[in-house]
Every structure is written in structure tokens, then in C-alpha cells.
């Protein structure tokens, strides 16, 4: 959407008015043999209905032409007032202006997260992203009741390529797909992977048989909310304090506290690295090249290039660790 389309509905009647002025001027020149200036003056006072009187005495043809000109101008004025009233009083122009601002905002957004679906799971994901100051754009097919103020929501079908592009999929770092329909989620995974091969794709699945299909289609991770909910409730019975602590640290990512992964590009002896004393970061685990995890690695562990080091610490401590790891 460009600025011209935004104001087009206001300017269109003015274009018609200019056309009517040209018709009136040429009409008086042809019918009454007026000079161009006199014809333009006669047209203006006729269209504006100010009633200054005729420049010269009109013929019957000139009077008939003047009547048509007055009727046309009155009809045009009524149309223009109707358009302006509808645009302003009904909120139509305000909605289009908000869409124009949102479009410009999305065009400048990059390294953000696209969230498909604004249901319970989608809203929860947005809440966590919002708490950690991560910018995101939401795609939702139906109007949302009481959306969070400031959330960027595109009301459209997330399975369409142009909608994902409008949400900035080409510049996004991740996409969260939380629709209740596994078939739609699978289609969005395929489209997102095709449009942006390097993007991280987190997809929801409702059925066990959909998990493998979504991963084959290109999903980086597949989440089953029902299973996670049941496992979480059972953990709260077995280890309530530990589970609450894990939930707390897994949903926070700010300058004071964060858990992150740093890719290793060289062979490192963890004991000799002395990471905690040098930076204050705690090593939680190592992500192996095959995608599996080595939890709580021993000091004698030697890393391999391409592995990932899972660290916990403040933003400043993480930056120090990145420098130390080279």
C-alpha cells in the first residue's frame, strides 16, 4: 500500500471536479463564444453556486448547459460529502491508515519472529517474546477480540505465500506455527522453508503421526502442547520446585539472565578453558554434531568444531564468553 492509494478516495472527487471545470469552460467557449477567461469564470461561479450573475446574456442553449452544469456540480458535491463522511465517521480511513503504517513498519522489520495463529498457544508465545523484547508479527485468519496493544497483526490466511512475505518471512529469524490444523501447519512449514531456507521453524502438532511429517517438511522443532502440558503437570507432582525453576529460566531472556547456544569453531578442553572463573557463565551442556545433547559435560570433555555450547549467564557474561571462545 502506498500513500497515493491511501488518499485516493479523497482526491478522486477532486479529479472529477477538475474534469467538470474543463467541460464547463469548453462548453461556454463553444456555445456562447466566450473568451477563455470569461468561460472559466462563468464555470467557477456556476459550479460553486455563488450566484454572481452571468458574464453575458446566455442563449437558450447556454442556459440549458448551465442547468446541466449546476445539477452535475451539486451531485458531485453531495457525493464528495458522502465519501468524506463515510471515510471519517465510519472509521474506514482510520483503518486504512493503520494498515498503511503497519505495512511500512513491516517493511522495515528484520531479524524478527513470525507467529502464525493467535489462539491460546500463539498468544502465549507472543507473551514470552514480548517479555523478552523480541519483535514479532502475527498472522491470524479471523478478527481477534481484544488483542494486546501494540501487537502487529495481519488478518489473512497464513498458508498464502504473499501473506508470509507481507509478514517479513524473508527477513525473519524464526517462525512459530501454532494453528490447530496439522495439514495447514505442514503447508506453512513447506512454504516457509522454501521462501527462507535458513529460518528456524517451530511448528505445533496435534497428532503423533504428524510430528515426523512436519520434520521432513522442514520444521526445526515440533511441539505437541497436549503432551507438554501433561508432562509438566506430572513434573509438578514429582519435583515441583525444580519444575517451576526450569519454567522460569526457560521463559526469560534479557540482559540480566539468559540461556544461549554458542557454536564452537575449534577444539577446546573445557577444564582448561576455565569458563566460569573467566566469565561467570555456567556450562549446561553441549549440542553434538548429530543433534543430540551431552548434559553437564565433565571438565575433561574436549569439544569438536561444529558443536554448540549451551551457556547460562547475564548478557555481559555471554558476550565475554563469545570473546573467550573466539
Check residue 285 and give its pLDDT.
92
User: DSSP letters along 19-79, please?
Assistant: HHHHHHHHHHHHHH---HHHHHHHHHHHHTT-----SS---HHHHHHHHHHHHHHHHHHHH
Enumerate domains of the chain plus CATH numbers: 3-92 (1.10.287.70), 110-228 (3.40.50.720), 254-325 (3.30.70.1450)
Check residue 60 and give its pLDDT.
85
Residues of the chain with confidence (pLDDT) below 70? 1-10, 51-53, 87-88, 90-97, 144-146, 231-232, 243, 247-254
Check residue 197 and give its pLDDT.
94
CB atoms within 10 A of CB 153: 18
Nearest residue to 325 via CA among 270, 256, 277: 270
> Residues 229-253, buried b or exposed e (16+ Cβ, 10 A)?
eeeeeeeeeeeeeebeeeeeeeeeb
Check residue 4 and give its pLDDT.
55
> Residues 182-214, buried b or exposed e (16+ Cβ, 10 A)?
bebbbbbbbbbbeebeebebbbbbeeeebbebb
Query: 3-state DSSP call for residue 263?
Result: strand
Asked if 228 and 245 touch (Cβ cutoff 8 Å), the reply is: no
Residues of the chain with pLDDT > 70: what percent? Answer: 88
Check residue 185 and give its pLDDT.
95
Check residue 232 and give its pLDDT.
66
Question: pTM for this structure?
Answer: 0.61
Check residue 227 and give its pLDDT.
73
Check residue 191 and give its pLDDT.
95
pLDDT in tens, 124-141: 899 888 887 889 999 998
Amino acid at each position: 500500500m502506498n500513500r497515493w492509494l491511501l488518499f485516493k478516495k479523497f482526491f478522486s472527487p477532486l479529479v472529477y471536479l477538475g474534469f467538470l471545470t474543463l467541460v464547463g469552460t469548453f462548453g461556454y467557449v463553444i456555445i456562447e463564444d466566450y473568451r477563455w477567461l470569461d468561460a472559466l469564470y462563468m464555470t467557477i461561479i456556476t459550479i460553486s453556486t455563488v450566484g454572481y450573475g452571468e458574464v453575458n446574456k446566455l442563449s437558450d442553449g447556454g442556459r440549458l448547459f448551465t442547468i446541466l452544469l449546476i445539477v452535475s456540480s451539486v451531485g458531485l458535491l453531495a457525493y464528495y460529502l458522502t465519501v468524506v463522511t463515510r471515510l471519517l465517521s465510519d472509521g474506514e480511513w482510520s483503518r486504512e491508515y493503520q494498515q498503511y503504517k503497519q505495512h511500512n513498519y513491516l517493511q522495515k522489520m528484520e531479524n524478527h519472529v513470525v507467529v502464525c495463529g493467535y489462539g491460546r498457544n500463539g498468544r502465549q508465545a507472543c507473551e514470552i517474546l514480548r517479555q523478552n523484547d523480541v519483535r514479532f508479527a502475527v498472522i491470524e485468519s479471523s478478527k481477534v477480540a481484544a488483542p494486546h496493544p501494540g501487537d502487529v497483526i495481519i488478518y489473512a490466511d497464513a498458508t498464502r505465500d504473499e501473506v508470509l512475505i507481507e509478514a517479513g518471512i524473508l527477513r525473519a529469524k524464526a517462525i512459530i506455527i501454532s494453528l490447530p490444523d496439522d495439514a495447514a501447519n505442514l503447508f506453512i512449514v513447506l512454504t516457509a522453508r522454501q521462501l527462507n531456507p535458513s529460518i528456524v521453524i517451530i511448528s505445533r502438532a496435534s497428532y503423533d503421526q504428524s510430528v515426523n511429517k512436519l520434520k521432513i517438511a522442514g520444521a526445526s522443532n515440533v511441539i505437541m502442547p497436549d503432551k507438554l502440558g501433561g508432562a509438566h503437570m506430572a513434573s509438578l507432582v514429582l519435583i515441583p520446585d525444580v519444575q517451576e525453576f526450569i519454567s522460569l529460566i526457560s521463559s526469560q531472556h534479557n540482559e540480566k539472565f539468559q540461556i544461549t547456544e554458542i557454536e564452537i569453531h575449534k577444539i577446546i578442553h573445557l577444564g582448561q578453558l576455565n569458563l566460569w572463573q573467566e566469565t561467570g557463565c555456567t556450562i549446561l551442556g553441549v549440542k553434538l554434531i548429530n543433534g543430540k545433547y551431552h548434559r553437564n559435560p565433565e571438565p575433561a570433555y574436549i569439544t569438536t568444531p561444529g558443536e554448540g555450547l549451551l551457556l547460562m549467564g547475564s548478557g555481559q557474561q555471554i558476550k565475554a564468553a563469545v570473546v573467550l571462545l573466539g
